[in-house]
Amino acid sequence: MKNLLQDRLLWFGGYVLSPTAAILTGLLMLSGCSISETTRRPPIEVWDDMDRQEKFKAQSPVGKDLYGVFEDKRSNRRPVEGTIARGHLALNEPSVTGLVNANTYLGQNPVPLDEAVLKLGHDKYQVYCTPCHDGMGSGKGIVNIREPNYKPANLMDDRIKAFSDGQIYYTITNGKGNMQPYHLQLSPRERWAVAYYVRALQRAHSGTLADVPEDKKGSIQ
């Protein structure tokens, strides 16, 4: 009885286990599982897992039939107009710094002037400038009334009227003496808009009767 069992085990080991193990080892080597060697030949793939699959490339159609996710066959949408890629914001451009070079202010306001821009400038001036410079730019805002020793500049001074647009913008951006900078509160466009509004106040301040339209002259006392 004992011998019979022994015989069977030997038979099983010799004729079944060993050949199966040998075949499996061979298959494993064939399928490229050998880690001891490197080869330039592509591995034999039993299952290709996810080695190759169709994918979407930015802005391009996909696959043989050239289908995309969107109707125009693009795989993603275009960036919103005016989008600036990270690292491409030109913070040292004259329209952002207000300077042409280290010693020269930009002469002219670079933002095209229209009614909306002037309105924007008016609105931002009311919020950020009137507390000190007052609505007319005289420098007698509420802060000066409460604290007469704090003297905001009179924006109607000939000295400041002679500023270039860039110098006004630069002052708003970086502050001056006791005036704090406003580059965190106001975007470059908003600062240029405020500069336009300061110019409008100055122009109104230098106005004469000759500037008043004929039909309105009668209403001036």
User: Which residues contact ligand HEC (rule: CB under 6 A)?
Assistant: 128-129, 131-133, 143, 152-153, 155, 160, 168, 171-172, 176-179, 182, 194, 198
The nearest distance, CB 144 to ligand HEC, in angstroms, is: 8
The nearest distance, CB 114 to ligand HEC, in angstroms, is: 20
Q: Which is nearer to ligand HEC, 136 or 143 (CB)?
A: 143
In this chain, which residue has its C-beta nearest to ligand HEC?
Answer: 177
Where do we find the tokens 């599982």? 33
Q: Which is nearer to ligand HEC, 31 or 126 (CB)?
A: 126
Q: Which is nearer to ligand HEC, 32 or 131 (CB)?
A: 131
The nearest distance, CB 160 to ligand HEC, in angstroms, is: 5
Q: Which is nearer to ligand HEC, 56 or 128 (CB)?
A: 128
The nearest distance, CB 53 to ligand HEC, in angstroms, is: 56
At position 106, the amino acid (one-letter code) is: L
C-alpha 173/C-alpha 95 separation (Å) is 12
